[in-house]
Structure 1
Amino acid sequence: MSGRIELERRADGVAVLWIDNPAHRNALNNALIDALTGHCRSLAADPSCRVLVMRGRGGIFCAGRELRDLRALQDASNDTIVATYEKLKALNEAVWFCPKPTVALIEKYAFGAGATLSSWCDIALSEEAALFAYPEVHHGFPPSPALMALFLAVGRKKAMELVLTGRRIDALEADRIGLITRAMPAASLEVELEKLLAGLLRSGPDAVARTKQFVWHSDESGHRASMATAVDSISLGLASEQAREGIAAFFDKRVPKW
């Protein structure tokens, strides 16, 4: 299969996963999905990794899924088809349940699997001219793996229009409806990414992980249960060593030592 996933490790604790499949505009195939999942799981368990960034080589994020993979699947057994989509589910879970902040940097295209990958990330920055779409219905199958994160991001009405029509939207509209965090001129993308990363790295790693754990719980619970869990979450967090260091650093007028 074509392409590869490149892992770039920075000295500040940022890990960058580069999608590199230029022959197919960085579309994902089975091997790339497996590689992304493996890296996400490894980095989630690595205390030296503070932030995970996903982006594409050649100024393109990800143009979707290689359709030749799907065409080959059509002649396979149902068990094989299910096993293949279990791999995509594993990737979605690895991104969504990563205890480190996950950031998608969108350039040019985020179609299909690319839009799905972006939507499962915590934060998505995009150049204004980038295009987003869920075109699966145009190929005769549903974009089911994207829907849970899409509903959380934009709500049912907007989500249904996007997935039932496959309409392309630019990053400005994606920003307006909540599909991404922020759209900006292409020339500002790298600068804004570094500003975001600086803010994330300033945050206590334990506090970030506890915050994400609470968000996962809240997504699956009612308001009353979440309010009760919030008490436990902040109480345990306040008693942690990192909270002691963070508060001490505030009074000492210094940067916390995480």
Structure 2
Amino acid sequence: MFNTITLETDARGVATLTLNRPEKHNAMSGEMLLELKQAAQDLAADDKVRVVVLTGAGKSFCAGGDLGWMQAQMTADAETRAKEARVLAEMLMLLNTLPKPLIGAIQGNAFGGGVGMASVCDVAIGVDHLKMGLTETKLGLIPATIGPYVIARMGEARARRVFMSARLFGAAEAVDLGLLARIVPADQLAEAVEAEVAPYMACAPGAVAAAKKLTRDLGPRLDDATIDHTIKALVDRWEGGEASEGIAAFFDKRKPSWQV
């Protein structure tokens, strides 16, 4: 059914949604974004699913945007760029509002959009050797469509520590920033995730869904206007000269003009 992700559900109703492009470090292509959007819709509608675990295949959880997708954006017009950004934004919104608990099993590095994916999880548990980073500004871009979820998770004050600098940080700092609930050695990740999943088997699914919706209603505003604002902010960056220079420098394996 899917080419870039897998979706399996066990007898208890625990679904595992896996980013499955390990050879590309699970970078998000246009196809993956559409498949994740469809999977989120399917999971929301499936009454047999009680809990969803989000993870990645291979060494990395998610390296952010696919390089081929980025190259295509370099030559696209503003309308096409906005359309592509909206698919990402809508996918994140669907996962963020999924009426089931979403548990992140962050088994490897997460950069850019991968940090956004971790941020939409209700609980994210990571391995103790991972690295994370919001690396967009190194390319002349900004973490726009993922921004509402990252900032909702971290809070503005903590987000300012890493949101603009593209600095990589380790697992312990990810916990301090609020991106991860806790970290464990890799061989203990499955056990730690199961400890988060198991309590829901004693909870009424409708009550869980209602409680999750209430937390979102009481939290920071994340609505259509927010999505539109982030899409415009991203397209504006693509239209400027810094994005073209930053991405060209990346593919040319040279320093961008601003790097000293």
Same fold (TM over 0.5): yes
1:220 positional shift: 4.8
How does 1:165-180 map onto structure 2 within 5 Å? 165-180=165-180
How does 1:82-97 map onto structure 2 within 5 Å? 82-97=82-97
- 2:88 paired with 1:66: no
Higher helix share: 1
Matched letter for residue 109 of structure 1:
N
Q: Which has the higher contact order (CA 8 A, sep 6+)?
A: 2
Residue in 2 aligned with 1:19? Answer: 19
Residue in 2 aligned with 1:116? Answer: 116
1:201 positional shift: 2.0
TM-score norm. by structure 1 comes to 0.82
Report SS of the residue matched to 1:129. Answer: coil
1:67 positional shift: 2.3
Residue in 2 aligned with 1:106? Answer: 106
TM-score norm. by structure 2 comes to 0.81
Matched letter for residue 24 of structure 2:
H
Matched letter for residue 109 of structure 2:
Y
Conserved in 1, the CA contact under 8 Å of 2:103 and 2:196? Answer: no
Deviation string 1:175-207 (CA, Å, 9 cap, x unpaired) is 122111111121211111111111122221111
1:91 positional shift: 0.7
Residue in 2 aligned with 1:250? Answer: none
How does 1:60-209 map onto structure 2 within 5 Å? 60-209=60-209
- Structure 1, unaligned stretches of length 5 or more? 222-258
1:23 positional shift: 2.3
Distance of aligned partners of 1:217 and 1:26 in 2 relative to their CA distance in 1, 3 Å threshold: same
Q: Provide the rounded CA distance (Å) in 2 between the counterparts of 1:153 and 1:79.
A: 30
Deviation string 1:69-106 (CA, Å, 9 cap, x unpaired) is 11211211111100000100111111111100111111
Q: Provide the rounded CA distance (Å) in 1 between the counterparts of 2:43 and 2:162.
A: 32
Moved more, 51-60 or 93-102: 51-60
Deviation string 1:211-234 (CA, Å, 9 cap, x unpaired) is 01111211257xxxxxxxxxxxxx
Report SS of the residue matched to 2:132. Answer: strand
Moved more, 21-30 or 83-92: 21-30
Q: Which 4+ stretches in 1 moved above 6 angstroms? A: none
Larger Rg: 1 or 2? 1
Residue in 1 aligned with 2:235? Answer: none
Q: Provide the rounded CA distance (Å) in 1 between the counterparts of 2:32 and 2:114.
A: 12
Residue in 2 aligned with 1:252? Answer: none
- Structure 2, unaligned stretches of length 5 or more? 222-260
Q: Provide the rounded CA distance (Å) in 2 between the counterparts of 1:179 and 1:22.
A: 22
Q: Provide the rounded CA distance (Å) in 1 between the counterparts of 2:178 and 2:194.
A: 22
1:161 positional shift: 2.3
- 2:49 paired with 1:32: no
1:52 positional shift: 1.1
Report SS of the residue matched to 2:175. Answer: helix
Distance of aligned partners of 1:165 and 1:220 in 2 relative to their CA distance in 1, 3 Å threshold: closer
Overall identity of the aligned pairs, in %: 29
Residue in 1 aligned with 2:10? Answer: 10
1:157 positional shift: 2.4
Matched letter for residue 90 of structure 2:
A
Report SS of the residue matched to 2:162. Answer: helix
Q: Provide the rounded CA distance (Å) in 1 between the counterparts of 2:166 and 2:203.
A: 38
Q: Provide the rounded CA distance (Å) in 1 between the counterparts of 2:176 and 2:201.
A: 27
Residue in 2 aligned with 1:253? Answer: none
Report SS of the residue matched to 1:41. Answer: helix
**Count of equivalent residues:** 220
